[in-house]
Structures are given as C-alpha cells and as structure tokens.
A = this chain, B = another copy of it.
Amino acid sequence: MSKPSLWAIPLGGLGEFGMNMLALRTGNDILVIDAGMMFPEAELLGVDIVIPDITYLKQNRDQVRAIVLTHGHEDHIGALPYILRDLNVPVFGTRFTLALVRKRLEEHGLLEKTDLREVLPGRHAEIGPFEVEFIHVTHSTIDCVALAIRTPVGVVIHTGDYKIDPTPVDGEPFDLHAFARYGQEGVLALFSDSTNVERPGYTPSERAVWNRMEELFRAAPRKVLVSCFASLIHRIQQVVDVAALVGRKVGFVGRSMVDNVEIAHGLGRLRIPDGLVIRPQDLRSFDPEKMVVLVSGSQAEPMSSLSRVAVDNHRLISVDENDTVILSARIIPGNEKAIFRMLDHMFRRRALVYYDNNGGLLHVSGHASQEEQKLILNLVRPRYFTPLHGEYRQLFRHAALAQQVGAVSGEVLLLEDGHPIEFTDDGAYRREPVPVGRVCVDSGSLEEIEQVVIRDRQHLAEDGIVVPIIAIDKHTGRMESRPEMVTRGFLPPENGTEVLAAARDVILRTIEQSNTEEKRDWSVIKEKIRVDLKRYLNKQTSKRPLILPVILEV
C-alpha cells in the first residue's frame, strides 16, 4: 500500500480578494471547500461576475465527493450555480448558508438537481475518507463554520472567515474549545483567513455599534435610514432592537435586504417583535419620526435601492431634509467615488448623513485582526500553516505573523492559486501547478438568469460587440441627437438596421426615465444602458453581445 498523502490545491482566493475555493485530495477522493465569486474590476467591461476556473476539478470529475461551504457570503458561495452545472456533487452547509444557496439555485433552475445536505455546528460528517467537523465561528453573517477535517495524514483546520467576537449578538460564542481540543490532539495543517492581517490589535465586537446607533436614533428629528450588508443579520438585529427600544418601527427596502430578513426570520435567527414591521406600501405615509428603514445598497451599486433612494428615484421611500442616514458598512476600496457621490446627493437634500467611525463606531469588521490571528495560531499549534483569503501582501504578512508567533512546529507555506502542496508523514512538498484562473460570466438579467454566458473569444465571435455612443450636453444634461451604435459581428445586415434603430429607442427611454442626477453620474447611466440594452437585444436576437457604452459630454 502506498503511503498516505494529502494534497491541498488552492483554486481561488490566494493572491486575490474573492472567489475563495480550496480543494483537498487524498488518494482518489477530492473535497472542495467553498465556491466563491468575485465582482469584476472596472477593466472587465461587460462582465457581471467572475468565478474560479475549475478545469482541475473537471479533469478529476469522478473523484470530487462534495463541496463544503463555510458560510453564505458571495465570495464563498457565489460560484455554486455556475460550478454545479459542470460538477453535480453534494453540497454541505449550515442551515442559513443552505437557505441562501437554495434561493440562488432556484433562480438558476438548479434546485431540483442539487443534493444539499444540512450540517450543524459541533457535528461531524463523513465524506469519503474525510471526516469533517463543523466548528462554530463568529463573522459578519450567521451560521458560519470553520472545518476540522480528519484525513489519513492528519487533521486539517480551515478557519473560513472569522473574527473572535467575545460578545456575539446572538450569545453564541466562537468555539474556542474545539480549536483548543484539536490543538491538544495535534494538527497537521492550519489554513486561515488573512483579510485583516494589516490591522493591529483586536477587531471590536459586533455589539460595539449599539451605542452610536442608539445615540443617533434617539437624536434623529425625522426618519432614520440605515444601510448595511443584507447578510449581516446581527447588525440588522441590533437596528431592530434599538428601534424597538427608542419607540420606532422598522421597514425593509431592497431585494437582498428583504430576502435575507425573510430567510433569517423564517429560520428563527432574526427576532422581530410583533407589530414592529412597517409594510412597504405604508412607508410613504408612516410618521417619519417613528420609523427606521433598513435599505440595501451600502456600496452604491448603480441599480441598488440606496442609490435610487438618494436621487429620489425609488418607489417606496425618499431622503428628505433632516432625515438621518447611517452608512453602517465599510467603504470598500474601489467603491469610494460611487459611495461619496451617493452620499453627496443626500447631503444636498439636507439629510444628516453619518458614514465614518469618527463620532463612535457605526461599523465593525467581520474579520480577525492580528491579535485574533495570533490566538488561533497559539491554540491550534499546527505542523504547517498556510494563509488563506487575501492579496499577496496579506498572505505574506500573515505568514510573517505566524513566523513571529512561533507556534508552527513545521513550516509556514505561502501558496498562491494553482500551486498545490502535498503533505505526507515525512513532510510537505510543493507540486507542479494546476490550471487556475478567472472565468468571466455574463449572468443575464433576472428574468433570464438561466442563460449563462462565459465571456470568451468564441462567444464574442458569435455574439459580437455593440458600442453605443451617447452624447450628453454638459450644461443641460440633455442628450444631443440620437445615440450612435458601433457594432461588430453582431447582426446580419438584412435585419440589423431595424434592430439597431429600435435599440436606439431603448437607450432614449432609459435616459428619459433617469433623473438629472443619474444622468450626470456616468457610471450609473452607463450601467442602466448596458442592462436595458442587454435585455432588449437578447429578447430580439437571442444574442448576448458585449455592450460597451461610451458617453461624451459636449
């Protein structure tokens, strides 16, 4: 018999932020941990999301036993609907995580075909030769787990995303004892979250935002709008509780906010007192002095509710003078301009806008800072350590931190995507790279989300490219004459003229339905044009050309 061996193969998230995915392999059995997506950078024009290249898994299709999810954030589950098309394997996750997955798979028409297996923190599952324990950890959503995976070579611990919150909102503490127990027993390898390795000290508890929220809610002369990530159920819980405490009722606005609240409430993980909720249709008429509204769109995504509320282009609510607006979220690098443009619209309307931690914490991170990372290293005392989740400098600094702590008895292994490591009883060996990379996905509009298009040269040759050119008068904000359309490989000449003429009308309509503030914000107007045009052209021609709107000020 050959000696036992364990391969760890990072397929995403090591050297980049997002699309986390790690494969473990022993003999002919592969276990995949997480299947995340990332949002495209601005350079990836015309792309909706980016997922990991799973060539390696497809090449070893028969050996993949399961995908195990650590929690329900997009950078850990977002690639599932695309990957399951190619690789229909069982998916393990906790209750809330699977509820989010179920929703997503339903939209993609994949729910029936998928074998979802619910797990409980503290329990074990046998998956081929892997025995997996799910360990409760605290993070910026609920039902998060780390994994302790018993393999023929030893125990591997994968922290998932975590912070060590000493006073979690739901009273369910980080399971330090499980980490201690495995550390006592002996751990082959620790894979751990590097996101906040640049931050000294401890990440504050989620509860740390309570005081400032209470202060602002009490001081608010009119209605209060709070925006946070929709999956941050504990933040939502605190907003609900503070609202109840100060005698305000609560409304929810935005698809992701409403979905997440419904799911968490349905699972009993969000407690909302009877009679506290304002129905959407009552928001406009409700006494503004008695209301708090949770709105999704904290990152000022072009079509999000908060973006539209900010320019008075939302059906359910508006921002008015003396309203209090609280951005209870990190301003993610890359989103600053859009976020501040959105906040400026609110300032212009004379809202009281709070968006930084200067006057008291309005947001805390969900990721471990240096002292928590050291604590995990000291508890687990692994033979090998590999930093996960981060750009290169973050992985590097986490590796350096581990060296400094000195709790790793063997080696600190700095890996990047596609670089496998093989563990045996004798040591850890770097192996030949496997194919990895980004796959760009055009996920389709909501009605037609089942049509997934992988953006590549082949697709471009078939579906072509459309460059609508829109000239907007910078003084009046009005469009100068009809938009021009530059196309290539998109339509046969016979009926092309007609479709393109109609497409011009679609653009005109999109612009007409936008207000002046939206028209001045090129990123918003371009995204609206792209989405509307995509839907129209797809309906008319069944094609999905790459659409690159160009706006000129004249």
Is B475 in contact with A43, judged by CB distance below 8 angstroms?
A: no
When chains A and B are docked, how far (Å) is the Cα of A465 from the Cα of B467? 10
A546 located at the interface, meaning its Cβ lies under 8 Å from any Cβ of chain B in the complex: yes
Q: CB < 8 Å: which of B347, B439, B552, B554 contacts A392?
A: B347
Cα-based distance from A347 to B337 in the complex (angstroms): 28
Q: Given that A43-B526, A460-B469, A469-B465 are contacting pairs, would A392 and B344 also be in contact in the complex, using a CB cutoff of 8 Å?
A: yes
Complex Cα distance A391/B338, Å? 12
B residues less than 8 Å from A522 (CB atoms): 41, 43-44
Chain B: CB-nearest residue to A456: B554
Q: Is A198 an interface residue (CB 8 A)?
A: yes
A524 nearest CB neighbor, chain B only: B43
**Nearest B residue (CB) for A332:** B336
Shortest distance from the beta carbon of A12 to any chain B beta carbon, whole Å: 13
Per-residue 0/1 for A23-36: is the Cβ within 8 Å of any B Cβ (1 yes, 0 no)? 00000000000000
Q: Which of A46-82 contact B (CB under 8 A)?
A: 53
CB of A455 closer than 8 Å to a CB of B: yes
Interface size class of A (residues with CB under 8 A): 35 or more
A347 touches B460 (CB 8 A): no
Task: Check if B393 sits within 8 Å of A200, measured CB to CB.
Answer: no
* Residue A334 is within 8 A (CB to CB) of chain B in the complex: yes
Whether the Cβ atoms of A553 and B440 lie closer than 8 Å is: yes
Asked if A554 and B457 make an inter-chain contact with CB atoms under 8 angstroms apart, the answer reads yes
Task: List B contacts of A551 (CB < 8 A).
Answer: 43
Q: Let me know if A392 and B348 touch, CB within 8 A.
A: yes
Contact B45 A550 (CB under 8 A): yes
In the complex, what residues of B have CB within 8 A of residue A465's CB?
Answer: 467, 469, 486, 550
**In the assembled complex, which residues on chain B have CB atoms less than 8 Å from the CB atom of A457?**
471, 480, 552, 554
Task: Render A377-395 as a binary contact track against B, CB cut-off 8 A, 1 for contact.
Answer: 0000000000000011100
Say whether B460 contacts A552, CB under 8 Å: yes
**B486-A391 in contact (CB<8A):** no
Partner of A548, one of B344, B480, B550: B550
Docked-complex contact A347 and B548, CB < 8 angstroms: no
Is there contact, CB below 8 Å, between B343 and A393?
A: yes
What chain B residues lie within 8 Å of A53 (beta carbons)? 474
A173 to chain B, nearest CB (A): 29
The complex places the Cα of A474 from the Cα of B457 at a distance, in Å, of: 12
Closest B-chain residue to A435, C-beta based?
B475
Contact A552 B343 (CB under 8 A): no
Q: How far is the CA of A337 from the CA of B334 in the complex (A)?
A: 7
Chain A 282-336 interface residues, beta-carbon cutoff 8 Å to B: 333-334, 336
A293 to B88: give the CA distance in the assembly, Å. 55
* Bound: A311/B475 CA distance, A: 44
Q: How far is the CB of A433 from chain B (nearest CB, A)?
A: 9
- In the complex, 8 of the A-B residue pairs with CB atoms within 8 angstroms, ordered by the A residue number, are A15-B344, A200-B358, A333-B336, A341-B391, A353-B393, A440-B553, A467-B467, A486-B488
